[in-house]
Structure 1
Amino acid sequence: MPNISYLSHVHYVDETHVALSNQFFSKTATNVARNGLATVMVVDGYSGEQHMLDLVFERSEMEGETFEQVEVHLAILESRLTGIMKLRAVDIYRVEDCRAVPAANPLVEPEPLHLPDLMGKVARLATQMSDCGDPETLLDVAIEGLGELFGYRHSMVLVPDGERSGLTTIASRGYGRFGFGAEVPLGRGIIGAAAERRRNVRITDLSRGQRYIQAVRAMAGIEDTTPIPLPALDKPLSQIALPFVARGRLVGVLFSESTERFAFRHRDEEALTVIAAHLATALSFLSDERERTETNQHEKAQVPTVEIANVPTGRRIAVRFYQRDGSLFVDDDYLIRGVPGRLLLHFLEDYARSGKQDFLNREIRRDRRLQLPDFKDNLETRLILLRRRLEEKSGPIMLQRVDRGRLRLTLAGPPEIAVIKD
């Protein structure tokens, strides 16, 4: 007996295959097992165009690339939908025919069959990124290029936090606030899922149904309890997150969103995948190159004599540091936590003890007093995060990069440091 089922996903595999999500397929599975034939109607959510696909069943997959691509989208909604969206398998079908279903009243004009190629813009941005000599400039050029060349005007980069198994925002563009230091737990929402699964996640329309609307804030990784809220659009309709991985190690996540539906298509994902891969390689290379340079300098030159600063006569700066999680407050205002918090405490204590203002990266790497986990891989990005967070706050403490591998601490007054050990 023929039957009809609604599907949550009809996933494009290649020019001759699609994958259907198998979640409730009792009767459908029986019919497919009997004759292997199916007809699927798909609707273009942008234009309203409909197409009929004549399919022939080939196989079911419960693991592998296609399964994980579909499963990760459902996993984002899983916590909100009490388990009903759990994927059992993806069924791979060969497409025998694809024909349009004429619409009596088309919603909009259909898109041209061949959209403009984005690879030229990818090449331009990759060339600009290749000219960057340090990680901070690289991140800024990449984010700005996404807006100027591609029109992706709301983007951010997050990097792994080795202490809390999450991600921390280090660069952003297009938002009312930068949100440097905002955190996303691993596996939470589209950003955390992309990091945990190490695969791209692209959502083209967040407006379908009330349950999707309710999940928007979770998908963006926003939590009211976080000390630094994540930058986010109020009503995003399209989102994409791409992890960038180098030599098997997660380097970060590139995230972009839009108030338009279907802002990110297959071609956008392909272009962003190339950019994310370039970011991963470039960030790893620049960090390794910086460390090699610092090591050679350390062996060829003596450490410069510490200059004692004139202590400012301005107001005193109250600094409170909690050892439990590395949280640091300045004048009762939360600043940062984790590795960046410990770094700033280290700088302030040295300043209070000896008046030291200049700090070299190679000295920081070798200072055992810090006792920081996975320090070698995180130093460069943590210093960028700390400097940007201080700039964003525009408070009495600033950390400036005076030249390659050297930072300078400036204060509006003497610090009063309280370390809380509870």
Structure 2
Amino acid sequence: MNTQADHQDIAIVGAGIIGIAIAACLSESGRKVLVVDRQGICEGTSSGNAGALAFSDILPLASKGILAKVPGWLMDPLGPFTIRPSYLPKLTPWLYRFWRASRADMLERTIEAQGAMMRLAEPEMLGLMQRAGIRDMIREDGSLELYESEEELNAALPGWTARRRAGIAFEHLRGEQLAACQPGLAPRFVAGTFVPGWKTVSDPQQVGKRLWNYAERLGARFVRARVDLVAAGENGATAHLCDGRTIKASKLIVAAGAWSHRLAKGLGDTIPLETERGYNTTLPAGAFDLKRQLIFSGHGFVVTPLETGVRIGGAVELGGLDLPPNYRRSEAMLIKAQKFMPGLETAAGRQWMGYRPSLPDSLPAIGYAGTSKSVLYAFGHGHLGLTQAAATGRLITDLVSGKEPAISIEPFNPHRF
């Protein structure tokens, strides 16, 4: 790309897993695609996530008893859910919408929409990875969610009932069954829930890069640049780059993760996107004999077996894009993990922080900009970007191709707020 204003068929802003999956799906449909990103292919938040293909995770954040726990958690700056006091005034409108999303009628609609999305997500992701030749990067070991008391398990049962209604299989384990499912756990855990359909990948960043290799073989191209502004008209859209260049495209897709709302605002769309800053530590391979992903829901983090090591991370810090990282949060999770898994070797870990793009109802924004059919939005997947990437690619491809979307996208309307 070396002219002042190259004209493209499709331009995608964002080379995270969502943008890459969209590029692959559009390229499969015969469209010519250019992806633009300020870093590189899956070099941002998609490089260090927990690696879950969480097709059974249909419960929004607002449904998981978060509101009742928030006052206690906010007293602990290293706890599972925290807000830095300096950021609270800016966050208040988002928290109000989050509270509204926790109402019973809203939750029911959200769970239904998320269930439909997940039913699409599984075959789309498995199919895309198969076509890309990377199906062997999926681990099908299930997940184990752990509880320190019968009371904690009982509090989680309404959520499991909702999953059962959605056709999701699971089994509550105790005693020898629990020990066999994951040896080496501390005796403080009295029960666990095994979900056989839960999947993980061998390395989330490498999955993204391999999917890009597939898209590239189909003709997709990449340019490294920062997009500062997006403009739209009746006959196309323009991305203005930080170096003064412009890219014109018949269709432009904003899939820039936690930065997407800034570009949407330039088009006149105010979308309440917030940033869940997630932290983790990746320990060397062999740090623990991990059989499957472990979910410590009461403490807000997971432990994942990866090809590159054992990844311990999660939790939620609502702090936007500009505050410096607080890696003490990674250290706090690592200390807990060592207590929960006494044989865990905690030396030589690599710390990381990423920016999860989160909307108040835990559903993504998928659809057209308010003023132009030349711009589409595909962002706000929260913890589920890897899980829902191929489904989003399918939906965007349907829209670009003028087809009826594979599922109703009304629940994901970017302007629903």
When normalised by structure 1's length, the TM-score is: 0.21
Name the larger-Rg structure: 1
Higher-RCO chain (CA-CA 8 Å, sequence separation at least 6): 2
When normalised by structure 2's length, the TM-score is: 0.21
